[in-house]
Homo-oligomer: A and B are copies of this chain.
Amino acid sequence: MAKVLIAQGGGPTAVINQSMVGAVLESRKFNNVDLVYGAFHGVRGIVDEELLDLTQETTHNLEMVANTPSSALGSTRDKPDLKYCQEIFKVLQAHEISYFFYIGGNDSSDTVRIVSDEARKANYAMRCIHIPKTIDNDLVVNDHTPGFPSAARFVAQAFIGANLDNSALPGIYIAVVMGRHAGFLTAASALGKKFPDDGPHLIYVPERVFNVDKFLADVKATMDRYGRCVIAVSEGIHDEEGVPIAVKLAKNVEQDAHGNVQLSGTGALADMLCDEIRTKLGVKRVRGDTFGYVQRSFIGCVSDVDQREAREVGEKAVQYAMWGDSDGSVVIDRTGFYSSDYRLVPLETVAGKTKVMPDEFIADSGTDVTDAFRLYLRPLLGSGMPDAYRLRQNLVPRVLNP
């Protein structure tokens, strides 16, 4: 009888539990599966032997957890090296795990790749499958990644509101959106735009070099045109040398084990950009928000397309493992407008690689998206997207000062 182990890694998403529950429930349908385990806090929980028996969980509660954002098994920022992966393999072997599923981004897929190598070298029979997840939408091969559509929906909805707020009390509004190297999530702000004069009027993604003088000129031009300005900025914007604008002014730079600088969980970038505008352009009403952790774990703002696909990549991973004869990473293909399907690709195809926005999604101005991007993203946001309406401008003739 076989044992299954499932773990979640990296930043939580609104639908990562769908994938976990999809893998658990699908595993339990196979006769050869005896027990389904979950690791507490990803690979960290494996090496610490902190495992949960998910076979003892009720289907009802699993369904409730599937609809709950963030990683129910806990996550980790540990990026295992070879030694760490050997530790992981030792525990998997000790618990006689035959199927290992790791839900995560490109760092997690690299971990699966190394563990898979270790198992093969040791002649230990184990299927290792990576299940995709990341709000950054930066996994290669995949048309998009589970978690991104829901985060994108939050960002689009937030910008609908931010634009309306800025329209009611005009001024300059900047919101910083997550995204270290890939601008997909920041670009999603454009889907909050309905009328031609709606914000975001300016969108800055890490795929383009950020120049402060150019930025100020863009803002001034927008103010001259609309008397207000709504701006979406990716936390990962950087100068010509690739130095993040956020790092330039952050006093305490914190790095995680992956060598990544802390860009989230601080309002510094938004505040600095606001200061620049106040000082250089002399505009008084300048406001900066940083969407922060709310955008990836907000409950009650989820794309149903994302939920379905996150569930399915979990289910498909188990099917590939049980019926197939190779390890790999599950990827999403777009097959229609809108439909999708899944494939298993070799781990090395996805592991450790980063996708960024293609040029065709970024307008020539460098501060807007193209219709190709709108066509790409809109179906992913799912059904029931809220919509903003405005009053028609039937002006009353002046009496005192005609």
Q: Which residues in A have some Cβ–Cβ distance to B below 8 Å? A: 8, 11-12, 14, 37-38, 41, 49-54, 56-57, 61, 64-65, 67-77, 90-91, 94-95, 157-158, 160-162, 164-165, 167-169, 173, 175, 251-252, 254, 264-268, 270-271, 274-275, 278, 284, 286-294, 296-301, 386-396, 398-401
Contact = CB atoms under 8 A, between A and B. Distances in A.
6 contacts: A12-B168, A51-B396, A68-B164, A68-B389, A72-B391, A267-B290
A198 to B, nearest CB: 12
Contact of A290 (B274, B290, B388, B392): B290
A91 to B, nearest CB: 6
Nearest to A20: B391
A402 to B, nearest CB: 9
A295 to B, nearest CB: 9
Nearest to A71: B168
A71 to B, nearest CB: 4
Contacts of A57: 391-392, 394
Contacts of A286: 265
> Which 8 A-B pairs give the minimum distances between C-beta atoms?
A267-B267, A265-B287, A289-B292, A70-B164, A161-B297, A64-B389, A51-B396, A71-B168
A401 B388 CA distance: 58
Given A54-B391, A393-B52, A396-B95, A294 B161 contact: yes
A70 B167 contact: yes
Given A300-B301, A390-B68, A391-B57, A95 B399 contact: yes
- A interface majority secondary structure: loop
Contacts of A162: 293-294, 297
Contacts of A291: 294
- Residue with the greatest number of chain B CB neighbours at <10 A, chosen from A161, A271, A278: A161
B75 A169 contact: yes
Nearest to A287: B265
Nearest to A169: B75
A91 B400 CA distance: 7
A69 B162 CA distance: 10
Contacts of A77: 169
A293 B289 contact: yes
B395 A51 contact: yes
A400 B49 contact: yes
A278 B300 contact: no
- Residue with the greatest number of chain B CB neighbours at <10 A, chosen from A54, A254, A268, A396: A396
Contacts of A14: 161
B392 A70 contact: no
Contacts of A61: 389, 391-392
A118 to B, nearest CB: 16
A279 B284 CA distance: 33
- Residue with the greatest number of chain B CB neighbours at <10 A, chosen from A157, A251, A266, A287: A266
A184 to B, nearest CB: 20
- Residue with the greatest number of chain B CB neighbours at <10 A, chosen from A65, A168, A399: A168
A268 B267 contact: yes
B293 A290 contact: no
A14 B157 CA distance: 13
- Residue with the greatest number of chain B CB neighbours at <10 A, chosen from A14, A37, A254, A392: A392
